[in-house]
Amino acid sequence: MFMGLFFLRVILNPTSSSSVYKCLATEKRPPWVFVLSRKAQWKCLDLPAVVFDQIIFKITSESLYCQWKKRLKGSEFSELVFSQITGEEKSQIPRSAFEVLAKEYDEVTTEGNDFREKYQRSLAETENVRRRGIKQTEDAKVFAIQGFCKDLLEVADILEMAVNSVKAEELEKGGKTLKDLHDGVSMTRTVLLKTFTKHGLVPVNPVNEKFDPNLHEAVFQIPPANAKQQPGFVEVVTKIGFNLKDRPIRPAQVGVVAPQ
């Protein structure tokens, strides 16, 4: 499909269709029409006034293309059209008229290309700014609670220690009151952890995983002879870590198997 059209009509006879010249395609709805006036710079061509009023220059938004789908310059197309004009029309419309048309068209095309390039760059920059603004806003919403979350982690640690400090046999001996108290503390810890997860605060328990100094804090080493894991792996987790939306806010405290 040939995209771009260049349509030049010289109205020498309103009832005649022989004065219509088309390039490689049929006419579509052009977005604008240039009517050349005898009051413009064309006066220097020394043409009859009626000729100025009879030239209508129409250009579509895609501009000029040749049969190889290569954009034609104004001079190239004017040469093509002028070569097809014969007879009386050729004597009334000299080559200089087409040369001026071609020069003005090239200037307008160059200016249009510059404006389009500047617009596309501005559009891209605006889109980048918009995306950065959205990301910064989302990060501010998420990580504004980071300090508050760190303080609540101590509460979760205390509840965990309270739950783990009571052994099963002691619960059986302590009676219903101790068991109800233990269950209440355990339920409180469970609800707190669910609330953490709801807001993107996720516990990290790296037991049996390879030690990562960026995510874990090694508090002691275990001799390989006394460990089940390979050297460099986490054998024991003394305090679980937490991530807020994939960002570590507290590293897990671990015991690592020492190298051999």
Least confident of 38-42, 90-94, 164-168, 182-186: 38-42
Q: Are strands 247-250 and 201-204 parallel, antiparallel or unpaired?
A: unpaired
Helices (H), 74-167: 74-82, 87-92, 95-143, 146-165
Integer Cα distance of 101 and 39 in angstroms:
15
How many other C-beta atoms lie within 10 A of the C-beta of residue 145? 14
Integer Cα distance of 61 and 1 in angstroms:
15
Integer Cα distance of 231 and 233 in angstroms:
6
Give the mean model confidence (pLDDT) for residues 70-75: 64
Position 179 scores a pLDDT of 86
Burial of 162 (0-12, 13-18, 19+ CB in 10 A): middle
Block residue for tokens 């937490």: 242
Residue predicted with more confidence, 118 or 142: 118
First to last CA, the chain: 73
**3-class DSSP state for residue 122?**
helix
Whether the per-residue pLDDT at 234 is higher than 50: the answer is yes
Position 146 scores a pLDDT of 82
Block residue for tokens 């501005």: 122
Q: And the tokens for 135? A: 């990301």
Half-sphere exposure of 123 (CA within 13 A, CB side): 6
The CA radius of gyration of the chain, in Å to the nearest whole number, is 41
Position 4 scores a pLDDT of 31
Q: Which amino acid is at 117?
A: E
For 5, residues 6+ apart whose C-beta sits below 8 A from its C-beta are 22, 23, 24, 25, 26, 27, 28, 30, 59, 60, 62, 64
Position 32 scores a pLDDT of 30
> Which strands make up the sheet holding 234-239, listed edge to edge?
216-222, 252-257, 234-239
State the pLDDT confidence band at 126, using cuts at 50, 70 and 90: very high
Whether the per-residue pLDDT at 96 is higher than 90: the answer is no
For Cα atoms 195, 196, 200, give the angle at the middle one, nearest 5 degrees.
120
Integer Cα distance of 195 and 192 in angstroms:
5
> Which strands make up the sheet holding 247-250, listed edge to edge?
201-204, 241-244, 247-250
